[in-house]
Amino acid sequence: MTMVRIPPPALPVRDRRAARALSPMLTRLAEERATGVLVREHGVLYLAEGRVVHAESPLAPDLGVLLTAHGTLAATAWQRVAAQTPGPAQTSDPAQAPDPAQAAEALLRSGVLPTGALELCHLDALYDAGYFALAPSGTPGRFRYGAGPRLGPLPSVPVVALERETLRRRLLLHRLWPDPAADSAPLIRADPAPGPAAALSVTPRQRAVLDRVDGVRTAADLARDLGRQAFHTLVDVRRLTAAGWIAPVPADPAPPPAPPPRPVTTDPDIALLKRLRDALEAL
């Protein structure tokens, strides 16, 4: 009996391009079972024994926002945790937010929040910030070994799982609307807006986003205002953009290039003629 080996199906071109954009450094750190902090252009990943235990990004709401926005946790309870677990940047402002990973563990020990709800919200925040931390970047990442993280009571994530989920999210956004300009630019209402029939297809979640579009807020700003994961807000933004409801603020046109400087001549004949002209004008 002849055995025929069938090669695995090749990834689509778009899949291969997205896969190359993920961090080879992160893959190597996972294989090394490294512990430390990976700093990238759009976010930070905290590793413990090669697993991702926490992620942060300026483009994604942190754990405190996700917990308190919709009543999962009272804001006063989070503030108490903030006072007990100051973050690394909390040296001059005691009201600043706590380190989210330490705060989550403090909440777990206090019992003020069900364990399952806290673990779910922790993973939501991790995958959300991790998506932006793994975004394509023009600057190399930096890793600090042994910089504090550890495996704690909250669930950690294998690097391969975070990369796979990041890739899935990229492809989903691309299918919804391939132009990423609306992800980071301030958003404006489209003019003219779609007709009444299109308005019926806007979901309540999308309506909440649409109502806050003001020409100033970006998708990240909308996510914080709504207390939602930034990626889920991007999904709504791309769908609204594809439907013609919103658009990114157009970029300012580049200023025209400066005219070239007038050439300076040192030809002695030209210099003599100029002196003659000046003498004749003085008569």
Give the count of beta carbons closer than 10 Å to the beta carbon of residue 176.
16
Tens digits of residue pLDDT in 143-199: 999 876 778 788 999 999 999 999 999 999 999 999 999 999 999 998 777 776 666
Residue 103's identity, in one-letter code, is A
Tens digits of residue pLDDT in 233-279: 999 999 999 999 999 998 766 667 777 766 655 555 666 677 777 77
* pLDDT value at residue 201: 85
Rounded-to-integer distance, Cα 46 and Cα 9, Å: 34
Q: Determine which helix (DSSP H) or strand (DSSP E) holds 54, and give its type and residue range.
A: strand 51-56
* pLDDT value at residue 15: 44
More confident of the two residues 128 and 14:
128
> Which of 75-79, 83-87, 230-234 has the highest average model confidence (pLDDT)?
230-234
pLDDT at 13 over 50: no
More confident of the two residues 62 and 86:
62
> Which of 99-108, 123-132, 196-205 has the highest average model confidence (pLDDT)?
123-132
Residue written as tokens 């399952």? 116
More confident of the two residues 206 and 114:
206
Q: How confident is the model at residue 124 (pLDDT cuts 50, 70, 90)?
A: very high
DSSP bridge partners of 143: 38
Rounded to the nearest angstrom, the gap between the alpha carbon of residue 177 and the centroid of all alpha carbons in its chain is 17
* pLDDT value at residue 80: 81
Provide long-range contacts, Cβ within 8 A and 24+ apart, for 99-106: 100/54, 100/56, 100/62, 100/63, 100/64, 100/125, 101/46, 101/53, 101/54, 101/149, 101/152, 101/154, 103/63, 103/64, 103/78, 104/63, 104/154, 105/152, 105/153, 105/154, 106/81
pLDDT at 8 over 60: no
Angle at alpha carbon of residue 196, lines to 195 and 202, rounded to 5°: 100
Residue 252's identity, in one-letter code, is D
